Amino acid sequence: MNKAELVEAIANGAGLSKTLADAALNATLTAIKTEMGKGNDVSLIGFGSFKVGKRAARMGRNPQTGKPQKIAARKVAKFSPGAELKAIVNGEKKAASAKKAAPAKKAAAKKKK
């Protein structure tokens, strides 16, 4: 599934237009990236956790020359699936189908005087 297909699934499941679903998905991804950029973890109960991991500096080898070279320390993004997601992936549980949301009610029209 790519982003366009995910936006369509969100739009259908939540009863939103594709434009609103795309905006919601982009806002969600931006919030996750912003928090992880600050070094914070993001946990979505039932889905999983996005965590910032650390890799220590180490020595590696240049594959072309074989010479040793330093590899700098860095932070990496990690994802750990939650128990519910693991059960769905392993076929132990079915994913809940998205319920269509009721369409938004329009505001009542003002009466002319």
Quick one: tokens of 54?
């650390």
Residue type at 85 in one-letter notation:
L
Q: Residue 5: pLDDT above 80?
A: yes
For tokens 């939103």, name the residue: 16
Q: Domain ranges in the chain?
A: 1-40, 50-95
Q: Residue 106: pLDDT above 60?
A: no
Q: Which residues contact 98 (CB under 8 A, 6 or more apart)?
A: 9, 12, 13, 14
Q: What is the pLDDT of residues 60-84, one digit of tens each?
A: 999 999 999 999 999 999 999 999 9
Q: What is the pLDDT of residues 25-61, one digit of tens each?
A: 999 999 999 999 999 999 999 899 999 999 999 999 9
